[in-house]
């Protein structure tokens, strides 16, 4: 399951990307990494805990690429992660909500990191 959000939907961020140079790639990578860690932490606050295995399986992985194509993946790595995410009575959507409820903060982290 993949949730995707492209910063190309955001006018302020798009303006920043107009003045492209290689240092911007580096700053974007760092900002994405910070945003990814933030979403991971927020998801860990929402995830239902029984043994703690699901909560502790959270990972972020930054893939640095040139020309502003970097991406960050946030994942939970136990076999029942998707099942809990989709069907848990009160703790479902722990990752999706962490991102959707914090779009403003994620945007702030990205803009601050790239400025």
Smallest separation (angstroms) from another protein to the CB of 87: 7
Choose between 52 and 104: whose C-beta lies nearer to another protein: 104
Q: Which residues bind another protein (CB under 8 A)?
A: 1-3, 9, 82-83, 86-87, 93, 96-97, 100-101, 103
Q: Measured from the CB atom, is 6 or 22 closer to another protein?
A: 6
Say if residues 63 and 12 touch (Cβ distance below 8 Å).
no
Residues recorded for the chain: 115
Q: Shortest gap between Cβ of 72 and another protein (angstroms)?
A: 18
Task: Give whichever of 49 and 82 is closer to another protein, judged by the CB atom.
Answer: 82
Please list, in sequence order, all residues whose beta carbon lies within 8 angstroms of the beta carbon of residue 83, skipping any fewer than 6 positions away: none
Q: Quick one: which H or E segment has residue 71?
A: strand 71-76
54 in Cβ contact with 75 (< 8 Å):
no
């Amino acid at each position: 399951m993949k949730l995707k959000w492209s910063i190309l939907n955001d006018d302020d961020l798009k303006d920043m990307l107009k003045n492209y140079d290689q240092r911007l790639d580096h700053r974007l990578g760092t900002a994405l990494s910070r945003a990814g860690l933030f979403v991971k932490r927020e998801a860990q606050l929402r995830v239902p805990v029984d043994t703690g295995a699901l909560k502790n399986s959270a990972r972020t992985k930054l893939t640095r690429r040139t020309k502003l194509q970097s991406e960050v993946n946030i994942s939970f790595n136990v076999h029942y992660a998707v099942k809990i995410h989709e069907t848990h009575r009160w703790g479902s959507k722990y990752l999706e909500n962490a991102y959707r409820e914090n779009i403003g903060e994620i945007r702030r982290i990205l803009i601050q990191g790239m400025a």
